[in-house]
Structure 1
Amino acid sequence: MQNEKITTAPSGYLAFFLVLLLIAAAAVSFIWEQPIIGAVICIVNFVFILPGLTIVNPNESKVLTLFGKYQGTVKQDGFFWVNPFTVKKKVSLKAYNLNGQQLKVNDSVGNPIEIAAVIVWQIKDTAKAVFAVENYLQYVNIQSEAAVRHLANSFPYDHIEDENASITLRGGSEQVGLLLVQELNERLERAGIEVLEARISHLAYAPEIAHAMLQRQQASAIISARRLIVEGAVGMVEMALQKMEEKNIIELDEERKAAMVSNLLVVLCGDKAVNPIVNTGTLYH
Structure 2
Amino acid sequence: MERRAFRINGFAVLAGLVVLGIAMAAATQAADTTLLPAAAILWGVVAMIVCTGFVVINPNEAKVVQFLGRYVGSVNDAGFQWVLPFTSKRRITLRVRNFETAKLKVNDADGNPVEIAAVVVYKVVDTATAAFSVDDYENYVAIQSEAAVRHLATTHPYDGHEEGGTSLRDGTEVAAELTAELSERTHLAGVEVLEARITHLAYAPEIAQAMLVRQQATQVVAARTQIVAGAVGMVQLALNRLAEEGVVDLDEERKAQMVSNLLVVLCGDRAIQPVVNAGSLYA
Is the TM value for this pair above 0.5? yes
Matches within 5 A, 1:140-159: 140-159=141-160
2:122–2:195 Cα contact (<8 Å) kept: yes
Q: Report the AA paired with residue 271 of structure 1.
A: D
Q: 2:13 aligns with which of 11, 15, 37?
A: 15
Q: Which residue of 1 aligns with 2:46?
A: 44
Output the CA distance in 2 between the equivalents of 1:126 and 1:146: 24
What are the Cα deviations for residues 20-53 of structure 1, in whole angstroms up to 9, with x where unaligned?
4577799999x9796554334323322x111111
Aligned mates of 1:13, 1:61 — CA distance in 2: 19
Alignment partner of 1:269 is 2:267: yes
The 3 A distance-change label for structure 1 pair 106 and 27 is farther
Matches within 5 A, 1:142-181: 142-159=143-160, 162-164=161-163, 166-170=165-169, 172-181=170-179
**d(CA) in 2 for partners of 1:225, 1:164:** 18
Deviation at 1:270, TM superposition (A): 0.9
* Partner Cα separation in structure 2 for residue 250 and residue 267 of structure 1: 21
Deviation at 1:85, TM superposition (A): 0.8
Structure 1 residues 75-107: Cα deviation after superposition (integer angstroms, max 9, x where no partner): 222222112211111111111112222111111
Q: Distance in 2 between matches of 1:23 and 1:114?
A: 68
Identity %: 50
Contact 2:25 2:36 in 1 (8 A): no
Mapping 1:216-255, distance limit 5 Å: 216-255=214-253
The answer to whether the 8 A contact 1:95-1:120 is kept is yes
- SS of match in other structure, 1:189: helix
What is the rounded CA distance, in whole Å, between the counterparts of 2:247 and 2:254 in structure 1?
14
Cα RMSD (Å) of the superposition?
A: 2.3
Is the contact made by 1:26 and 1:39 (CA closer than 8 Å) also made in structure 2?
A: no
For the 8 Å contact 1:129–1:191, the answer to whether it is kept is yes
Residue 134 of structure 1, CA deviation: 0.5
Q: Kindly provide the amino acid, as one letter, of the partner of residue 259 in structure 1.
A: Q
- Counterpart of 1:65, as a letter, is Q
Say whether 1:214 aligns with 2:220: no
Taking a change above 3 Å as real, the CA distance of residues 18 and 32 of structure 1, as seen in their structure-2 partners, is farther
1:187 to 2:185 alignment = yes
Work out the CA distance in 1 between the residues paired with 2:266 and 2:23. Answer: 104
How many residues were matched structurally?
A: 278
CA 1:210–1:24 in 2, change beyond 3 Å: closer, same or farther? farther
CA contact (8 A) 1:25 1:38 kept: no
Q: Deviations over 1:87-129 (max 9, x none)?
A: 1111111111122221111111111111111111011111110
Match of 2:65 in 1: 64
The answer on whether the counterparts of 1:117 and 1:199 sit within 8 Å (CA) in structure 2 is: yes
What is the identity, as a one-letter code, of the residue corresponding to 1:146?
A
Return the letter of the residue paired with 1:83.
L
Deviation of 1:249 (Å):
2.3
Where does 1:193-212 land on structure 2 (aligned, <5 Å)?
193-212=191-210
TM-score (norm: length of structure 1): 0.89
> Deviations for 1:148-184, whole angstroms, at most 9, x for unmatched residues?
111111111112xx325521110x2111111111111
Distance 2:237 2:9 in 1: 88
The 2-side partners of 1:104 and 1:276 are apart by 54
Instruction: Pick closer, same or farther for the CA change 1:109–1:36 going to 2, 3 Å.
Output: same
Once residues 195 and 237 of structure 2 are traced to their aligned partners in structure 1, the CA distance between those partners, rounded to angstroms, is: 54
Structure 1 partner of 2:96: 95
